[in-house]
Amino acid sequence: MPGLVIALLGAESSGKSTLAHALALTLRGEGHDAVVVSEWLRDFCAAAGRTPRRDEQAGIAAEQQRRIEAAAARHALVLADTTGLQTAVYSEIVFGDRSLYPAAGASHRATVARTLLTGLDLPWQADGLQRDGPQVRAPVDRLLRAQLQALGLDHRVIYGLDEARTAAARAALDGLPGLTPAAAPAWRSADEGAPFSRWRARCLECLDPACERLDHARRDAPPSG
């Protein structure tokens, strides 16, 4: 029986790769057979010395899916650092091409047990060829959310820094087969000071995109509602 696949999607520089490896370490520490499938786009750009052309996008999505399925055939838990759905979103952003959505959405739905969407609360950082700049983060985030909602895919939005982000991601896996509920995050007691800190802690604990309240643009201001 294939292993459970947990997909990590998100705009560039939102901590997907770091979170995937940190979450894998946490799960291994709990005794689980967890492995990370890295983003094939990153390897492609490094090997080719350029970003993909429009006609190469479908192949990148297919190779990402192939690697995920291969890992799931050998391991109990697979942390997929993006899926073809991320490639489809970039195809629309960069090339205005929406043709990859049907296949990418079907593969994601058939393979992934739960999707973690990384929030935009981390500062943007340059990282070689594959990053276009901070101006594309919000559009990518919007398209990913729209696709996940349109497909009715089970997903959680992940915020926080360092250990808090990892703890939020681990808590988001509660309810999956074979995973016991996550322990209470160590950062909870540290957020019992100012009212806004308590409010942000509740957002980190909730993880429900339907009631998400974190204000990316003014995250240092008190909430209005």
Residue 142 counted as domain residue? yes
Residue 213 counted as domain residue? no
Residue 208 counted as domain residue? no
Write the CATH number for 162.
Answer: 3.40.50.300
Count of domains for the chain: 1
Note the pLDDT of residue 106: 96
Distance (Å, rounded) from C-alpha 103 to C-alpha 115? 17
Residue 192 counted as domain residue? no
**Model pLDDT for residues 26-50, shown as the tens digit of each residue:** 999 999 999 999 999 988 988 999 8
Residue 114 counted as domain residue? yes
The CA radius of gyration of the chain, in Å to the nearest whole number, is 17
The residue segments making up the domain with residue 134 are: 4-186
Residue 222 counted as domain residue? no
Q: What residues of the chain score a pLDDT lower than 50?
A: 187, 189-200, 213-225
Residue 81 counted as domain residue? yes
Distance (Å, rounded) from C-alpha 141 to C-alpha 119? 8
State the SS3 of the chain. CCCEEEEEECCCCCCHHHHHHHHHHHHHHCCCCEEEECCHHHHHHHHHCCCCCHHHHHHHHHHHHHHHHHHHCCCCEEEEECCHHHHHHHHHHHHCCCCCHHHHHHHHHHHEEEEEEECCCCCCCCECECCCCHHHHHHHHHHHHHHHHHHCCCEEEECCCCHHHHHHHHHCCCCCCCCCCCCCCCCCHHHCCCHHHHHHHHHHHHCCHHHCCCCCCCCCCCCCC
Residue 43 counted as domain residue? yes
